């Protein structure tokens, strides 16, 4: 057994981010991703478990030894900030109580317009869908969404947000999530369909969007 070293914040953050972005993992999987020994990963996970940040379940798949799978606890998920959560919730409730639901809808619509303009300007000139998703993922990651994208193997894509820094606000105002989806669709433009496949506030681990490039889109490119 290798000598145990107290876990540092940087090491803890690496473990927590892998579990946040990749989902439940075994110690061996985490060790391979972090280029450390399996025993080293296990010891670090035990320390994180002592701090209440991770938990494990033992699973058995057919023959062979049961496998211990690690995942974030609610405290571990809370390690990733919900930006100005308390202030945001108070502000939303104040608008709702003092000015009414219609006023709250107007505020959400104004935010949607601001977000759209910011993203549109940042992605201006990018026409390739994959390149646009790459740039958008970088933007959203800087905002705390831990975003990534991948091909689906069928000519389409998935856009994944592993964290929602405005989750508490979205839970208290459903129009925020509707606004986010509308903005995403507008950014991708004509000929690209965007549908939400997984939703954090519905109980999923992350928000996942399915992106499909339609036949009409491809036809326009061939004609040009």
pLDDT value of residue 187? 93
Domain assignment of residue 1, yes or no? no
Q: What is the DSSP string of 44-57?
A: HHHHHHHTTSEEEE
Task: Express each pLDDT in 43-97 by its tens digit.
Answer: 999 999 998 889 988 887 666 678 889 998 877 887 876 666 677 778 888 988 8
Q: What is the pTM of this model?
A: 0.70
pLDDT value of residue 217? 44
Give the domain-ending residue among 23, 43, 78: 78
Average pLDDT for residues 121-142, to the nearest whole number? 93
CATH number (domain holding residue 47): 1.10.10.10
Instruction: Name the phi and psi angles at 63, rounded to 5.
Output: -75, 165
Higher pLDDT, 20 or 81: 20
Percentage, residues of the chain above pLDDT 70? 88
pLDDT value of residue 82? 63
Domain assignment of residue 54, yes or no? yes
Q: Are residues 156 and 198 in the same domain?
A: yes
Give the domain-ending residue among 25, 47, 78: 78
Q: Are residues 106 and 172 in the same domain?
A: yes
pLDDT value of residue 84? 61
Total number of domains in the chain = 2
Contacts for 92 with CB less than 8 Å, ≥ 6 apart: 104, 169, 172, 173
Q: Which residue range forms the structural domain that includes residue 23? A: 9-78
Q: Are residues 25 and 106 in the same domain?
A: no
- Residue carrying the six token digits 């339609």: 214
pLDDT value of residue 85? 66
- Residue carrying the six token digits 């959400």: 108
Q: Are residues 73 and 90 in the same domain?
A: no
Q: Are residues 125 and 49 in the same domain?
A: no
Q: Are residues 192 and 160 in the same domain?
A: yes
Average pLDDT value over all residues in the chain: 85
Domain assignment of residue 33, yes or no? yes
Domain assignment of residue 2, yes or no? no
Q: Are residues 36 and 117 in the same domain?
A: no
Contact between 118 and 132 (Cβ < 8 Å): no
Q: Are residues 90 and 201 in the same domain?
A: yes
Distance, C-alpha 52 to centroid of its chain: 22
pLDDT value of residue 216? 54
Domain assignment of residue 193, yes or no? yes
pLDDT value of residue 52? 86
Query: Is the pLDDT reported for residue 25 higher than 60?
Result: yes
Q: Are residues 14 and 115 in the same domain?
A: no
Reported as a pLDDT band with limits 50, 70 and 90, residue 215 is low
pLDDT value of residue 119? 95
Strands 207-213 and 192-198: antiparallel
- Residue carrying the six token digits 């391979």: 32
Q: Are residues 92 and 69 in the same domain?
A: no
Query: Is the pLDDT reported for residue 101 higher than 60?
Result: yes
């Amino acid at each position: 057994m290798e000598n145990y070293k107290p876990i540092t914040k940087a090491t803890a953050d690496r473990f927590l981010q892998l579990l946040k972005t990749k989902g439940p993992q075994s110690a061996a999987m985490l060790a391979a991703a972090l280029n450390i020994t399996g025993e080293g990963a296990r010891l670090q996970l035990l320390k994180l478990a002592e701090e209440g940040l991770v938990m494990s379940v033992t699973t058995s798949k057919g023959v062979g030894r049961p496998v211990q799978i690690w995942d974030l606890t609610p405290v571990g998920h809370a390690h990733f900030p919900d930006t100005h959560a308390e202030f945001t919730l108070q502000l939303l409730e104040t608008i709702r109580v003092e000015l009414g639901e219609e006023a709250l809808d107007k505020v959400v619509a104004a935010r949607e317009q601001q977000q759209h303009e910011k993203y549109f300007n940042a992605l201006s000139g990018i026409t390739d869908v994959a390149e646009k998703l790459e740039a958008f993922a970088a933007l959203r990651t800087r905002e705390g969404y831990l975003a990534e994208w991948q091909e689906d193997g069928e000519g389409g894509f998935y856009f994944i947000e592993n964290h929602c820094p405005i989750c508490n606000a979205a839970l208290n105002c459903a129009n925020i999530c509707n606004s986010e989806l509308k903005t995403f669709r507008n950014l991708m433009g004509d000929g690209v369909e965007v549908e939400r496949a997984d939703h954090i506030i519905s109980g999923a681990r992350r928000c996942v969007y399915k992106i499909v490039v339609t036949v009409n889109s491809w036809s326009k490119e061939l004609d040009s």
